[in-house]
Structure 1
Amino acid sequence: MGIFVHILLTNVLPMGIMIALGITLQRAFKLDIKTLSKLNFYLFSPAVIFDLLYKTEISAQTVGLILLFFVLFMVAQSIIVETVIRLRGYGPGMKSAMRNSVLFYNSANYGIPLNQLAFAGNEKTLAIQILIMMTQSLIPNTYGIYNVNAHKADPKAIMRTILSMPVIYAIPLAFLMRGFEVPIPQPLATPLGYLSDAFIGTALITLGVQLGNMEWRIKRSLLVDVSLSGMLRLVAGPLLAWLIVWLMGLDKLTAAALIVSSAVPTSLSSVLLAVEFDNEAEFASQSVFVSTILSIVTVTAVIFFLQIEV
């Protein structure tokens, strides 16, 4: 019970307050959600990814292990979600929305604070979480964009959209500059820090604004689909991660960090993609909302069991 209360007060509740502020602002002023989504995609997200990758020490062995885990985890999740899609007989738009709601999880503005809380700021687990965040930031800006547009745009147009995403350039640039020890000029370092610091708050406010746009009840037509999305993300996710780290024979600390990283709710990226490209925005918003609320219980349970074992 003590762990539950601690997580609730120090991690989940502060994020809930930020989301509530976004909801309040939307109800009061009717903010432009598309403008906010563009700020996240083109400015704050690439800035925070570059900043963290440039500053954090990550060994080549760790990178290899985490990337192997991530590939296995995404393949396993994809198999499960594609099975559900076939059983439910979704149309093209809903197929991509369901995939995004399960495969894209909140590894940044939920995962990083959660990691620091669960592992007391351990540098190794933070490095692991940053790698997961990196891959999770890259995929929505490549596969995610293709996924929501494949049924309604030509391949050249989709490729142009993907190539316009700054985050796909920020990741290799950060690794190169760190590898060759290239310093960031102070006139650039200061605004980069400002943008990086603004990411979490802006992302949570954006989620709140989108949630403020929708009805606070799940439509009967979406109830089953939103429930399936939440179960696949919050329950199947950490169970699959546990199976994979066990098969890989990873040490307990690395395994625990990866399981916790997989237990977080649906990413705001799924909402931003849905809004930006007009694809099942209501389902995407409700999936994020429901999974975020349910994660209060499910994430706490995952950490509780891991602390018993580790």
Structure 2
Amino acid sequence: MSIFLHILLTNIMPMTIMIAIGITLERVFHLDIKTLSKLNFYLFSPAIIFTLLYETAIAAELIGKVLLFFFIFMIVQYLVVEIVVRLRRYSPTMRSAMRNSVLFYNSANYGIPLNQLAFAGNKETLGIQVIIMMFQSLVPNTYGVYSVNSHRSNMKAVWKTIFGMPVIYVIPIAFLMRGFEIPIPDPIQTPINYISDAFIGTALLTLGVQLGQMEWKISRSLAIDVSISGILRLIGGPVLAWLVVTLLGIEGLTAAALIVSSAVPTSLSSVLLAVEFDNEKEFASQAVFVSTLISIVTVTVVIFALNLQV
């Protein structure tokens, strides 16, 4: 039990405190979540993705392993969610909202700090989390935008939105600049560092502000659906990840980092997409709120179980 409490206090509580500060700021000052979201979407997130990809040495073999894991993991998750939405006979809008709440997990403003705390800043596990974050940033900005609009007719506008996302361009630029060893001039490097350093704090505060704007209750009509989303994301995620790493024969810190990366709560991206495109906003908000709250316990359990094995 002492190990469990140690993990809870040193790995989970620092993030929880930052989120709580965001909630408090929202309740006192009523902050503009759209401005914060745009800052995260178009400035802080692209900056940290660029910085980490440009500066972190990630072996090609490791990239291959993580990509294979991510590809299989996402397919398996999708199949499980698809079975659930068909059994529940959801409407087209609810189908996409449920898929997004499970497939899009908070690998950035929850996953990066968690990785840094759980693995004591290990560069290999950080590299793994960077790769996961990179693809988890791409998926909501491509498939996510498409899925919440697939039942609509104006697909030209959908593709315009997708190609307007900066992360799509930041990733290849970072890889090319690193591959060709192109140096960044100091007048540009310094502001990039300032912005990327602000990412974790700003992202956690933004999550807190978003939670502070939500009603802290679950609608009766959505209670079952929100519960299903939470179970699939917080329990199904790490269980499926464990099955995939076992199937692929991945062991040690790599396996542990991949499992921890899959155990995080629903991404704020699912709410941003729901709000932006008017697609089951109430469900999306409640799914994020509940999964973030319950993850305090479930993520601690996952790290505790891995500590017993690794």
* TM-score (normalizing by structure 2): 0.95
Matches of 1:303 and 1:26, distance apart in 2:
31
**Which residue pairs with 1:186 in the alignment?**
186
What secondary structure does 1:31 align onto? coil
Residue 70 of structure 1 aligns with which residue? 70
Q: Which runs of 5+ in 2 are unaligned?
A: none
Q: Distance in 2 between the 1:194 and 1:3 partners? A: 35
Give the structure 2 partner of residue 266 of structure 1.
266
Task: Identify the residue that residue 145 of structure 1 maps to in structure 2.
Answer: 145
Q: Residue 193 of structure 1: SS of its match in structure 2? A: helix
Match in the other structure for 2:217: 217
Matching of residues 77-96 of structure 1 within 5 Å:
77-96=77-96
**Residue 106 of structure 1: aligned partner:** 106
SS in 1 for 2:198: helix
| Aligned partners of 1:125 and 1:253 also within 8 Å | yes
8 A Cα contact 2:15 2:113, kept in partner: no
Structure 1 residue 96: Cα displacement: 1.5
Supply the AA of the counterpart residue of 2:87: L
Aligned counterparts of 2:193 and 2:40: Cα–Cα separation in 1: 15
- Cross-structure match for 1:195: 195
- Structure 1 residue runs without a partner (length 5+): none
Q: Deviations over 1:224-280 (max 9, x none)?
A: 111101100111111111111111111322111111111111112212222222222
Aligned partner letter, 1:183: P
- 1:1-310 map, 5 Å: 1-310=1-310
CA distance in 2, matches of 1:23, 1:307: 31
Deviation at 1:153, TM superposition (A): 4.8
Distance in 1 between residues matched to 2:33 and 2:275, nearest whole Å: 8
Question: Higher mean Cα deviation, 190-199 or 227-236?
Answer: 190-199
Closer, same or farther: CA 117–24 of 1 in aligned 2, 3 Å:
closer
Following superposition, the deviation at residue 126 of structure 1 comes to 1.5
8 Å contact from structure 1 (residues 37, 276) kept in 2: no
Could you tell me whether the CA contact under 8 Å between 1:94 and 1:280 is conserved in 2? yes
8 Å contact from structure 1 (residues 203, 268) kept in 2: no
SS in 2 for 1:152: coil
SS at structure 2 position matched to 1:139: helix
Paired residue type of 1:132? I
Distance 2:152 2:196 in 1: 34
Note the alpha carbon deviations across 1:59-78, whole angstroms, 9 max, x for none: 11111111011000000000
Contact 2:115 2:129 in 1 (8 A): yes
The one-character-per-residue Cα deviations of 1:68-125 (angstroms, maximum 9, x if unpaired) are 1100000000001111111112222221111111001111222222222222322211
Q: Secondary structure at the residue paired with 1:93?
A: helix
Query: In the aligned structure 1, how far is the partner of 2:38 from the partner of 2:298?
Result: 31
The count of aligned residue pairs is 310
CA offsets 1:152-202 (integer angstroms, 9 cap, x no match): 352211110000000000001100001111111111111111211222222
Alignment CA distance shift 1:307-1:10 (3 Å)? closer
Q: Any conservation in 2 of the 1:34–1:276 contact (CA below 8 Å)?
A: no
Rounded to whole Å, the distance in 1 between the matches of 2:265 and 2:245 is 20
Conserved 8 A contact 2:12-2:300: no
- Asked if the contact 1:222–1:283 (Cα under 8 Å) also holds between the matched residues in 2, the reply is yes
Residue type matched to 1:15 in 2? M
